[in-house]
């Protein structure tokens, strides 16, 4: 019996990952038979990925005070005179409630207003918080496609990047994504352990020659970040782990990258 | 109405939704300031209508619904005013928007182009594309949020994708590797 012909609706749903299971084979057969169909699907997926790359950076923009006030509800908004100092309180309350995530944006807003520069460390912690908490799509390309992930990221960053193997620390690769940095794009690799704790390693080309920097450690809103520079690349390892745990992982990452570097330069 | 009648909306979820609401609003209005006005109106409306939100259900999807309704109401009002003023507008012009990105936000030319192409889509296609491709809502959720049949969601999505594809058809195949010259 022939399956129902594949429709535009099937192809859209397939590309968006929401096609009902009973239709998947029909679509995959059609893709195998007809290169034009396969190309259509690949193109739709590329569009989706491009749109997310283009529009995700908007999510990290600081939230205006008036919107924080509006979110606090009419009771708070009615107190017009207290609104100015209320907004940071709302932000703080949110930070306390959810730790990272929602409150983060508000906090960053306060910091920027206070003139605190946004550093790579803070950016890394923010990006980690944003994606580690994302249930649907923490990464763009998942671990089973590690080879494609590494090739893609290396191409986009303009230099070879690698996903270190952290299995010895109990962390398996979840996948990775490209993050729009302020000056240079950043590669992000995400890892997860059996307790569902997530770590991310972010790598980008250092915009200016920053020289060598030994391991530096900072805590940004509960997210620990190890940060170092090596061969004109900045690395940031972020996670909700304590310093010792994070440092242990950081050493492994550093060691693997150094070994790789030595192998290449031979 | 008693003071305890309506429980407040959950603050963390509401705050977490703001960046996504702002993004949706910016895609709808094409203007950073108007987008934030729309978000503010949406939040106010959400507080007014909080009784209608089923606690435990997806707050984000519900807020998208409210924003869509506020937006089409405002646009209908604006249209009515506009008709009395001038008819010699450039036809498509009222739908298309300028690219509302911040300076230095992108290092990749093709992303800027992609956003520009999205801006040239009619608002109804833009909206479906954002909700499906970027927010990853199910087609059924989108249909509910926009109060249209699922079939309409699909056809708008197909049309939006076809337009983006044809917009890129004349771009060189390797354009994905283009970088902004500094």
Can you give the pLDDT at residue A231?
76
Residue of B nearest to A18 (CA): B138
Per-residue confidence (pLDDT) for residue A212, from 0 to 100: 57
Identify the CA nearest to A231 among candidates A159, A150, A124: A159
Q: Is the pLDDT of residue A218 over 90?
A: no
Q: How confident is the model at residue B107 (pLDDT cuts 50, 70, 90)?
A: low
- Chain B residues in contact with A47 by the CB 8 A cut-off are 114, 133, 161, 164-165
Q: Are the CB atoms for B12 and A94 separated by under 8 Å? A: yes
Q: Tell which wins on pLDDT, B94 or B50.
A: B50
Tell which of B19, B34, B154 to mutate to test the A interface (max A CBs under 10 Å).
Answer: B19
What stretches of chain A adopt beta strand conformation (E)? 141-142, 172-179, 186-192, 198-205, 213-220, 223-230, 233-239
Instruction: Report the CATH architecture of A138-265.
Output: 2-Layer Sandwich (3.30)
Distance between CA atoms of residues A40 and B118, nearest Å: 18
Are β-strands A172-179 and A141-142 bridged in parallel, bridged antiparallel, or unpaired? antiparallel
- C-beta atoms of B39 and A70 within 8 A: yes
Residue B58 tokens, joined? 């997806």
3-class SS of residue B87: coil
Mutate to test the interface with A, among B7, B8, B11, B15 (most CBs of A within 10 A): B15
Range of the domain at B114: 11-177
Say which CATH number the domain at B90 has: 1.20.140.160
Residues 6+ apart with CB under 8 A from A253: A164, A166, A201, A235, A237
Give whichever of A155-164, B89-98, B170-179 has the largest mean pLDDT.
A155-164
Contacts of B14 in chain A (CB under 8 A): 71
Q: How far apart are CA B140 and CA A55, in angstroms?
A: 23
- On chain B, the residues whose CB falls within 8 A of the CB of A18 are 138-139
| A52–B133 CB contact, under 8 Å | yes
What's the pLDDT score for residue B35? Answer: 92
Q: Average pLDDT in the B38-44 region?
A: 95
Cβ–Cβ gap A51/B36 under 8 Å: no
User: Looking at residues B20-34, what average pLDDT do you find?
Assistant: 89
Residue pair B163/B125 in contact by the 8 Å Cβ criterion: yes
Going by pLDDT thresholds of 50, 70 and 90, the confidence category of residue A28 is very high
Tokens 């940004």 appear where? A220
CB-based contacts of A219: which residues, under 8 Å, 6+ apart? Answer: A225
CA distance A112 to B141: 36
Q: Which positions in chain B touch A77 (Cβ < 8 Å)?
A: 44
pLDDT above 80 (res B30)? yes
Interface of A with B in 208-247 (CB under 8 A): none
Determine the residue of chain A that is closest to B47 in CA distance: A73
Q: At residue A27, does pLDDT exceed 90?
A: yes
Higher pLDDT, A22 or B172: A22
DSSP class of residue A110 equals H
Whether A111 shows a pLDDT value over 50: the answer reads no
Cβ within 8 Å, pair A12-B118: no
Which member of B36, B47, B110 has the closest CB to residue A73? B47
* Residues in A touching B105 (Cβ below 8 Å): 57, 180
Confirm if B39 and A71 have CB atoms less than 8 A apart: no
Nearest CA distance, A237 vs chain B (angstrom): 23
Asked if residue B108 belongs to a domain, the reply is yes
Cβ–Cβ of B111/A70 closer than 8 Å?
Answer: no
- The secondary structure of residue B179, as a DSSP letter, is -
The verdict on residue B5 lying in a domain is: no
pLDDT band at A12 (very low <50, low <70, confident <90, very high): very high
Do A72 and A86 meet the contact criterion of CB atoms below 8 Å apart?
A: yes
Q: Do A73 and B13 touch (CB under 8 A)?
A: no
Query: Would you say A44 and A15 are in contact if contact means Cβ atoms under 8 Å apart?
Result: yes
> Residue B163 falls within a domain, yes or no?
yes
> Contact at 8 Å (CB) between A149 and A112?
no
A201-210, B86-95, B122-131: least confidently modelled range: B86-95
Contacts with A64 from chain B: Cβ below 8 Å: 36
DSSP character at residue A144: G
User: pLDDT tens across B56-103, in order?
Assistant: 788 888 999 999 999 999 888 887 776 654 444 433 444 556 555 555
Residue B40: which of A57, A59, A66 has the nearest Cβ? A66
Q: Do A102 and B133 touch (CB under 8 A)?
A: no
Question: What's the gap between Cα A202 and its chain centre?
Answer: 9
Which residues, 6 or more positions from B61, have their beta carbon under 8 angstroms from its beta carbon? B137, B141, B144, B145
Q: Which residues pair with A216 in a beta bridge?
A: A227
Q: Which of B9, B32, B133, B135 would you mutate first to test chain A, the one with the most A CBs within 10 A?
A: B133
| pLDDT confidence bin for B133, thresholds 50/70/90 | very high
- Residues of chain B above pLDDT 70, percent: 73
Segments making up each domain of chain A, as ranges = 8-57, 61-113, 138-265
Domain assignment of residue B138, yes or no: yes
* Eight-class DSSP state of B94: G
**Residue B137, domain member (yes or no):** yes
Asked whether the predicted pLDDT for residue A143 surpasses 60, the reply is: yes
B154: nearest CA in chain A? A9
Decide if B156 is inside a domain: yes
Percent of chain A at pLDDT > 90 equals 24
Q: Which of the residue ranges A80-89, B5-14, B135-144 would you say has the lowest mean pLDDT?
A: A80-89
When the pLDDT of each residue in chain A is averaged and rounded to a whole number, the result is 77
List CB contacts (< 8 A) between B13 and chain A: 102
Predicted TM-score (pTM) of this structure: 0.56
Q: What is A37-106 written as a DSSP string? A: HHHHHHHHHHHHHHHHHHHGGGGGSPPPHHHHHHHT-HHHHH-GGGHHHHHHHHHHHHHHHHSSSHHHHH
What count of CB pairs under 8 Å joins A to B? 138
Residue B159, pLDDT score: 94
The residue among B53, B52, B29 whose CA lies nearest residue B41 is B29
Q: How many Å apart are CA A43 and CA A35, to the nearest integer?
A: 12
Give the whole-angstrom CA distance, residue A138 versus residue A142: 9
Number of domains in chain B: 1
């Amino acid at each position: 019996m022939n399956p129902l012909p594949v429709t535009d609706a099937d192809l859209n749903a397939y590309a968006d990952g929401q096609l009902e299971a009973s239709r998947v084979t029909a679509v995959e057969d059609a893709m195998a038979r007809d290169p034009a169909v396969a190309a259509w699907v690949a193109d739709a997926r590329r569009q989706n990925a491009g749109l997310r790359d283009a529009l995700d950076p908007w999510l990290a923009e600081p939230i205006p005070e008036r919107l924080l006030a509006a979110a606090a509800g009419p009771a708070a908004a009615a107190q017009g005179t207290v609104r100015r100092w209320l907004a940071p309180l709302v932000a703080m309350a949110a930070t306390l409630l959810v730790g990272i995530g929602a409150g983060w944006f508000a906090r960053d807003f306060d910091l920027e207003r206070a003139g605190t520069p946004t550093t790579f460390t803070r950016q890394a912690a923010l990006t980690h918080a944003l994606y580690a908490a994302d249930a649907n799509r923490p990464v763009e390309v998942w671990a089973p496609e590690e080879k494609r992930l590494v090739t893609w990221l290396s191409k986009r960053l303009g230099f070879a990047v690698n996903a270190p193997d952290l299995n010895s620390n109990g962390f398996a690769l979840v996948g990775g994504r490209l993050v729009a940095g302020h000056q240079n794009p950043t590669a992000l690799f995400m890892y997860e352990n059996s307790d569902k704790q997530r770590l991310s390693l972010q790598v980008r080309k250092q915009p200016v020659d920053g020289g060598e920097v030994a391991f530096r450690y900072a805590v940004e809103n509960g997210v620990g970040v190890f940060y170092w520079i090596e061969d004109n690349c900045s690395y940031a390892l972020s996670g909700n782990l304590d310093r010792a745990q994070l440092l242990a992982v950081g050493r492994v990452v550093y060691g693997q990258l150094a070994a790789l570097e030595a192998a290449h330069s031979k | 109405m008693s003071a305890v009648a309506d429980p407040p909306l959950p603050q963390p979820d509401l705050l977490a939704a703001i960046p996504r609401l702002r993004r949706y609003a910016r895609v709808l209005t094409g203007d950073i300031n108007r987008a934030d006005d729309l978000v503010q109106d949406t939040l106010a409306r959400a507080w007014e209508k909080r009784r209608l939100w089923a606690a435990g259900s997806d707050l984000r999807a519900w807020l998208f619904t409210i924003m869509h309704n506020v937006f089409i109401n405002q646009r209908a009002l604006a249209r009515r005013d506009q008709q009395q003023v001038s008819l010699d507008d450039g036809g498509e012009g009222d739908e298309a928007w300028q690219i509302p990105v911040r300076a230095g936000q992108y290092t990749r030319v093709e992303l800027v182009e992609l956003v520009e192409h999205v801006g040239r889509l009619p608002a109804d296609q833009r909206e479906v594309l954002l909700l499906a491709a970027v927010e990853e809502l199910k087609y059924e959720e989108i249909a509910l949020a926009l109060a249209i049949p699922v079939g309409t969601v699909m056809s708008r999505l197909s049309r939006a994708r076809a337009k983006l594809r044809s917009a890129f058809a004349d771009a060189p195949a390797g354009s994905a590797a283009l970088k902004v010259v500094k």
